[in-house]
Structure 1
């Protein structure tokens, strides 16, 4: 993210964003002194998030720094084929609507704090709960790593190298830990609202500047027709299969993000949840659609970039636009400050849920069931800090592009979907088949991913999910179920 024009002005903007986040955390703590005595208060904001705050915290969960920085780079490399990135986010909303209202009702009925608690309540199986928790922790750790890499790249680019990559990571991680520690979910949701507004304003200013100074889509289309006609074409058969594969993988995978599910539990009521989703339905066009166009315009603006160089595309475009006049200069500075704030806000959401699964589902259930809520919170916070420390070491030398890191986590996280979603509606679904399905799906997805195996161009995670789902359904249908057991399950999932 090369934004070398900014230098010390970038440093000042980042300091301003950092201080604002700290201020939000401090004010939240002063207004809610009992926040550290209750898991409900700390992890779910007392289940009282209203429409606007809930909307922006969902927005921050879906549209992180990867969307603004990584997606235009991918559009640059693939051309119009990457228009599929817009339906990715439409699929996520559709997947939410399959289960979110029902899961909200379950969360309210049983006072659930984490998605792992639903597995425990529904299946009454230690094996299922622990396996689901581990898969969720894997996905969350992977996602947090992605955000840490993006923070470092963003800070280094915005300050023109004045603040090195590693220093940027540590600075904002410390900021995130402090305000998250102080205010929990409320701090996270309020910072999400702040960064969401900044991000929306910034990307539209970048789009306007790109159209004015680089000629817009028609100019890029003319350039591609002359020099890169392959970027104008539609994908072939295998390409279409890959499109559909990623649509399903990302649509379901992102919808079952544990930190997204916690936001479902945190809604003030079901009407608030549905109103937030109705607003989210427009965001694929407003956000993913806009950054796709920016990436396409970049093909003409900066032709011939390598894969590594294209990862810096947004910074290069912003730097060029900012040099045109003062208005765009400060708009681009604010944009990248907003991008980094967005990345940090996504990271804090992930860390909060990561801590809640450790403290409530693993430590509280199986290690020290007699622990007070205060002690569970403390354990979750401390182990969360340890996890961040380990991920910082990995992020010090990032292993892949942002897009590759983004895709990796879905292969295993998606394996919780059958047990989570089917279990909300089907009373016959059994704990043993859910466990067997998750194990089989995880093994298939892991082996195919590790050894880079491909079958019909379909993502390895989907082959795992298919096997997982078949085992769950067929195994539950052939299993002998007593009338007592069936009535118990019917009572659990009844509203």
Structure 2
């Protein structure tokens, strides 16, 4: 019989061939000289592919490896994420339609495109792009970290897992563009979500764990660990303050993270946002059910595991090495479906928000696509270095990225719903929130036992709304018209014609 590492490499080899074929299809379908085509998939993604690429990009190693480990440690407090994804689905409908309409009218490519244009602040573009790139380092890093952890479990070197992930994702992201990324995400998302459900309930069934039903599972863990299923959970970490901080950060990050924000520009039509929220709720919220099952099984059968992020593959390995191989392949799929999106976001932000604005403005679109590709290589290298220096669990590290995404959400809220806020409210609150996050992450970690990102978001919200009460918006008339255009777009008074004439008329009036 083949060794475990050999089986892993065989399964990964087969999946890699599939991904490279999708990369080829994406390359053939992409105009390599068009930024819209390369970075935004031509803005014509259908609703099913859109919700799958959003879901797969949102759920990564932190979901497949990190979430079972955190539920194993914290108990029921962590499973509030199930509820949060229902709220996030609603946010996708409310915010996504508006972000799509503005992206269509003004041809936005990055989050900073929208923020600079609305607030008339190039400084805000710079700050928001710095925050956007910074958050992608730990987020890419945890995917690579998960790949290394998975390889260690089967007796292979950590660096081999990181290197395999690095090479594959870089190739198909740089060559295939966003179409290849989105199509690969869709395949990977379906694969690892079905596998998660299948493995969890296979282990639960009689003859494997001997438990049989969810009722028996809950009864058994409640008997051995009485605090596990009672709030705030066995660790006591999810106090009301921490629970609220996680709610606020998680839901707003699902809109504000750059690799997700840009996806709201990619829909073929506004009607896609009737499907995307429902798809996300089904894909994401119910995806936490098998994670709950795995966390409890780990608590019951391997309570002394040293590395909690290995709970899922370790417990599967106890029952079936073959199924563990499939799980590790799925973990790679989960990680790749996030890394590719983040790598594209990094390249897009650097090209549009830094290179084109602050370095060289008059490059052709073909040159800008190549600038983005080179930026991807350099920024990916930094992410690899970050991976080998990172400390903490996958979920803990991912919260750094989530909080940055949440900080970008507040100026977006002003663009869409709060015309009273001007550039000073947006700039000062974003800088203060970001500095607070750095302070509570690297200098005084989680003061008073409350997650540091909660302080960052609280200070930003306080300053954002506080400054807005006194700020004199120098673009008052323009801002008013901008919100009027947005309202009419949502109400259907402006429609996208084949030649884009109606949208161009709106753009001219607002500029």
- Give the TM-score of the pair, scaled to structure 2: 0.88
Contact 1:217–1:296, Cα closer than 8 Å, also in 2 = no
* Alignment deviations for residues 393-452 of structure 1 (CA, whole Å, 9 cap, x no partner): 232354222122111223333222221112222223211221111122222232223233
Q: Is the 8 A contact 1:18 1:172 kept in 2?
A: no
Equivalent residues in 2 for 1:90-489, closer than 5 Å? 90-157=86-153, 160-161=154-155, 163-212=156-205, 213-214=208-209, 215=211, 216-235=213-232, 239-306=239-306, 308=307, 310-322=308-320, 329=322, 331-396=323-388, 398-454=390-446, 457-481=449-473, 485-489=475-479
5+ unaligned residues in a row in structure 2: which ranges? 487-511
Match of 1:66 in 2: 62
Q: Is the 8 A contact 1:91 1:247 kept in 2?
A: no
- In 1, the alpha carbon distance for the partners of 2:314 and 2:281 equals 30
SS at match of 2:32: helix
The DSSP-based 3-state class of the residue aligned with 2:230 is coil
Gaps of 5+ in 1: 324-328
Deviation at 1:455, TM superposition (A): 5.5
Q: In structure 1, what is the equivalent of residue 22 of structure 2?
A: 24
Pairs aligned (count): 477
Q: Identify if the C-alpha distance between structure 1 residues 221 and 428 changes in structure 2 by more than 3 Å, giving closer, same or farther.
A: closer
| CA RMSD, Structure 1 to Structure 2 (Å) | 2.2
Cα contact 1:363–1:369 (8 A) shared by 2: yes
Q: Is the 2:421–2:465 Cα contact (8 Å) retained in structure 1?
A: yes
Assess if the C-alpha contact under 8 Å between 2:309 and 2:393 holds in 1: yes
Task: For 1:396 and 1:427, locate their aligned partners in 2 and report how far apart those are by CA, in whole Å.
Answer: 44
Aligned-residue offset at 1:282: 1.7
Whether the aligned pair in 1 keeps the contact of 2:400 and 2:453 (CA below 8 Å) is: no
The CA deviation at 1:182 is 1.5
3-state SS of paired residue (1:202): helix
Cα distance in structure 2, aligned partners of 1:350 and 1:285: 22
TM-score, structure 1 normalization: 0.91
1:86 aligns with 2:82: yes
Q: Is the Cα–Cα contact under 8 Å of residues 313 and 327 in structure 2 kept in the other structure?
A: no
- Judge which range, 95-104 or 66-75, deviates more: 95-104
Post-superposition offset of 1:457: 4.9
The whole-number CA distance in structure 1 between the counterparts of 2:172 and 2:328 is: 21
Task: Using the TM superposition, give the Cα deviation of residue 339 of structure 1 relative to its aligned residue in structure 2, in angstroms.
Answer: 1.9
